[in-house]
Amino acid sequence: MPRITDITATVTRPATENLVVVRVLTDEPGLHGLGCATFTQRYTAVVEAITRHLRPLLLGRDADRITELWRLMHFNGYWRGGPVLNNAISGIDQALWDIKGKAAGLPVYQLLGGKVREAAAVYQHAAGPDPESLVRSVRTIVERGVRHVRCQIAAAPHASAETLAANVAGYGGLGQTARRPDGALPGAYFDPAAYEREVLAGLEALRSELGDGVELLHDVHSRLSPDQARRFARDLEPYRLFFLEDPLPIELLHRFVDLRAATVTPLAVGELFTQPSQWLPLVTGRQIDFLRLHVSAVGGLTPAIQAAQLCEVFGVRTAFHGPKDTSPVGHAAQLHLDVATPAFGIQEFAPFNAAEHEIFTGLPELRDGYLYPNDQPGLGIEMDDKAARRYPPQNPVIRWTQARLPDGGLNPP
Ligand code: MG
């Protein structure tokens, strides 16, 4: 039985986000595991939770008892849940699954019942300031073999820095030219009506230029009110979206029942979820089509496996969150679940850059629109700590969450 001898947390920034990667060491020579604990916006809090609270709790314990240790970590602070503590638990949880697979000589997908598919279909992100640029951006991705593309109308390249910051993923809505009252606070201004018109024009251009052979997705990023979201989802129906992401903010999850009743556009939500009470009514009440958990934010593979099983029973599909604020270790971990769960729908993915290849070996491989795990024992991914330290974290004030409506009020990000 391998006993836990140390737990470390490494913060590295090989691309645009601070990543937190946990390493759990054991008393068996060479037997260690990696896990993703990336809450990029509050990474120092996660590192403290791991090194000052969870490490002393777990030293000397049996690394084989994943469920026991998950529950121990979850209950230990008495107040539980939330993205900081869940990410801390996730880093250790994923590392324990990695250790169990290595000890057994099996890839983690084998521990989950084996593959039900060879690879996970991915979607990638396309954006442009106008319909023509958006069509070009989508075409570039489709030509690489990816058949699912999330399409956003982004701010123009000449837009102000604050608009670009808010529109980094392309949320349109006129940006700095939107109306505002005298004395309005700085921020990235967003006009919901203009946004709806821009997106509909973009999708019209995409369907007329590219036809029906590509699956189109769109992310509202919670920026509409329930009445706007209902109308928008109905207006989108002729374009046959693969799904509409985050039409409402998590503060208004109880309004999904109205949205479901109003439209046949497939609905996806979940990247901000941290506890089962948030997704349970949506899944069991058949109010959504895709559950988009950020696996580290819910506490790692152990709760994500449970959620996938629940989705399977209710005919909801998974679409785990996977932009650059999921570390390569997190991608490897969720990919093992993607290929093993019948509930899999699609995987969000952005290709790894040179620095990520420098730090990590055994990265999942993207070929012709499918992401493949390797067949090494455990999660199949390793980290070079020295290389990771060459890319130190940054801690700027976060501006992209400061979107504002035409009356000057903050809009949910
Ligand atoms: Mg999203």
Distance 349 CA to ligand 1 centre (A): 12
Distance 348 CA to ligand 1 centre (A): 9
Report the amino acid identity of residue 9: A
Q: Residue with structure tokens 């850059």?
A: 353
Distance 5 CA to ligand 1 centre (A): 37
Distance 347 CA to ligand 1 centre (A): 12
Reply yes or no on whether the pLDDT at 170 is more than 70.
no
Reply yes or no on whether the pLDDT at 30 is more than 60.
yes
- pTM here is 0.95
| Predicted pLDDT of residue 255 | 98
CATH of domain 4-106: 3.30.390.10
Distance 189 CA to ligand 1 centre (A): 19
Residues 101, 378 contacting (CB under 8 angstroms): yes
Segment (H or E) for 370: strand 370-372
pLDDT mean over 188-213: 92
Distance 169 CA to ligand 1 centre (A): 9
Segment (H or E) for 191: none
| Predicted pLDDT of residue 168 | 43
pLDDT mean over 7-11: 98
Phi, psi values for residue 59, rounded to 5°: -55, 130
CB 91: neighbour CB atoms within 10 A?
35
Instruction: List residues, by chain if needed, whose CB lies under 5 Å from ion ligand 1.
Output: 219
pLDDT mean over 274-281: 98
Distance 183 CA to ligand 1 centre (A): 31
Distance 221 CA to ligand 1 centre (A): 6
Distance 400 CA to ligand 1 centre (A): 13
Distance 63 CA to ligand 1 centre (A): 34
Higher pLDDT, 179 or 237: 237
The residues pairing with 20 across neighbouring beta strands, listed in sequence order, are 11
Distance 84 CA to ligand 1 centre (A): 19
pLDDT tens for each residue of 93-125: 999 999 999 999 999 999 999 999 999 999 999
CB 47: neighbour CB atoms within 10 A?
23
CB 377: neighbour CB atoms within 10 A?
17
| Predicted pLDDT of residue 169 | 39
Q: What is the mean pLDDT of the chain?
A: 93
Distance from C-alpha of 162 to C-alpha of 160, rounded to nearest angstrom: 6
Reply yes or no on whether the pLDDT at 156 is more than 80.
no
Distances (CA, A) of 181 to 178, 189, 408, 409, 412: 10, 11, 7, 10, 19
Where are the domains positioned within the chain?
4-106, 111-378
Strand-pair category, 188-189 with 403-404? parallel
pLDDT tens for each residue of 313-330: 999 999 999 999 999 999
Phi, psi values for residue 251, rounded to 5°: -70, -15
Distance 29 CA to ligand 1 centre (A): 41
Residues 24, 96 contacting (CB under 8 angstroms): yes
| Predicted pLDDT of residue 158 | 45
Specify the CATH number for 111-378; select among 3.60.40.10, 3.40.50.150, 3.20.20.120, 1.10.3720.10.
3.20.20.120
Closest CA to 96 of 165, 154, 31: 31
Distance 271 CA to ligand 1 centre (A): 6
Close Cβ partners of 349 (under 8 Å, ≥ 6 residues apart): 122, 123, 124, 322, 331, 366, 371
